[in-house]
Amino acid sequence: MSPRTSSHRPTRSARSRFRTPSAVRRPGLYLAVAAAGAVLVGTATTGQPAAQAEPAAAVSIADQLGVSAASPTGSVQEQIAPLEQLAASRSDRETEQAKAAKAQHDHDEAARKKAEEAKRKKAERKAAAKEAARKEAERKAAKKAAAQEARAQTAETASAPAPAAAAAPSGSFQGYALSQLGGDNSQFSCLENLWGKESGWNPNAQNPSSSAYGIPQFLDSTWAGTGIAKTSDGYRQIDAGLVYINSRYGSPCGAWSHSQASGWY
For the chain, give every domain's residue range. 20-93, 173-262
Residue, of 66 and 177, whose pLDDT is higher: 177
Type and span of the H or E element at 81: helix 76-159
Q: What is the mean pLDDT of the chain?
A: 77
Q: What is the pLDDT of residue 10?
A: 45
At 108-120, the pLDDT tens digits run: 999 999 999 999 9
Average pLDDT over every residue of 241-249 = 96
Cβ neighbour number for residue 145 with a 10 Å cutoff: 10
Residue, of 69 and 172, whose pLDDT is higher: 172
User: What is the Cα Rg of the chain in Å?
Assistant: 67
Q: Is the predicted pLDDT of residue 72 greater than 70, yes or no?
A: no
At 85-132, the pLDDT tens digits run: 888 888 888 888 999 999 999 999 999 999 999 999 999 999 999 999
Q: Is the predicted pLDDT of residue 221 greater than 70, yes or no?
A: yes
Average pLDDT over every residue of 42-71 = 48
In whole angstroms, what is the distance from residue 140 CA to residue 138 CA? 5
50 closest CA partner among 42, 58, 60: 42
Residue, of 58 and 84, whose pLDDT is higher: 84
Q: Is the predicted pLDDT of residue 201 greater than 70, yes or no?
A: yes
Average pLDDT over every residue of 214-236 = 94
Residue 213's beta-bridge partner residues? 206, 218
Q: Are 67 and 34 in contact (CB under 8 A)?
A: yes
Q: Is the predicted pLDDT of residue 9 greater than 70, yes or no?
A: no
Q: What is the pLDDT of residue 226?
A: 92
What CATH architecture does domain 173-262 belong to? Orthogonal Bundle (1.10)
Secondary structure of 152-194 as H, E, C letters? HHHHHHHHCCCCCCCCCCCCCHHHHHHHHCCCCHHHHHHHHHH
Q: Is the predicted pLDDT of residue 161 greater than 70, yes or no?
A: no
| DSSP string for residues in 2-56 | -HHHHHHHHHHHHHHHHPPPHHHHHHHHHHHHHHHHHHHHHHHHH---GGGS-TH
Average pLDDT over every residue of 22-36 = 47
Average pLDDT over every residue of 24-49 = 46
In whole angstroms, what is the distance from residue 113 CA to residue 101 CA? 18
Q: What is the pLDDT of residue 152?
A: 81
The contacts of residue 248 (CB under 8 Å, 6+ apart) are: 255, 265
Residue 56, CA distances (Å) to 36, 51, 79, 201 in order:
13, 13, 20, 156
50 closest CA partner among 63, 37, 62, 60: 37
Q: Are 175 and 233 in contact (CB under 8 A)?
A: no
pLDDT band, very low/low/confident/very high, at 230 (cuts 50, 70, 90)? very high
Cβ neighbour number for residue 86 with a 10 Å cutoff: 13
In whole angstroms, what is the distance from residue 6 CA to residue 12 CA? 11
In whole angstroms, what is the distance from residue 234 CA to residue 98 CA? 113
The sign one gets for the Cα dihedral 100, 102, 105, 111 is: negative
Ranking 38-47, 137-146, 181-190, 206-215 by mean pLDDT, the lowest is: 38-47
Q: Is 47 exposed, middle or buried (0-12, 13-18, 19+ CB in 10 A)?
A: exposed
